[in-house]
Amino acid sequence: MSLEILTAFFGWSAIINYTILLVWFLAFTLVHNWVYNIHTMWFDMTIEKFDYTHYISMAFFKLLIFVFNITPYLVLKFIV
């Protein structure tokens, strides 16, 4: 596997993961009550705990994107 293919892989992976994060954020903000009602059918939680869980999860997902997609992409761009 060449470095150009690996660089493209990490670049597209970052774009796809950020798209997933954007859809998650939009669903969370635009249809908040609907998503909350669905989650409370499965889990017993308050709205504060629901919001906290989603904000922390989005932050963790964003951190994972930086560590596993953006950083290798930038390193490979510096090498190539």
- How much is the pLDDT for 63? 98
Question: From the first residue on, what is the mean pLDDT of each consecutive set of 10 residues in the chain (80 residues)?
Answer: 95 98 97 96 95 97 98 96
Compute the distance between CA of residue 67 and CA of residue 64 in angstroms, rounded to an integer: 5
Distance CA 64, CA 45 (A): 26
pTM recorded for the entire structure? 0.90
User: What is the structure's pLDDT at 80?
Assistant: 84
Distances in Å between the Cα of 60 and the Cα atoms of 29, 31, 64, 77 are 18, 22, 6, 25
Tally Cβ neighbours within 10 Å of residue 76.
17
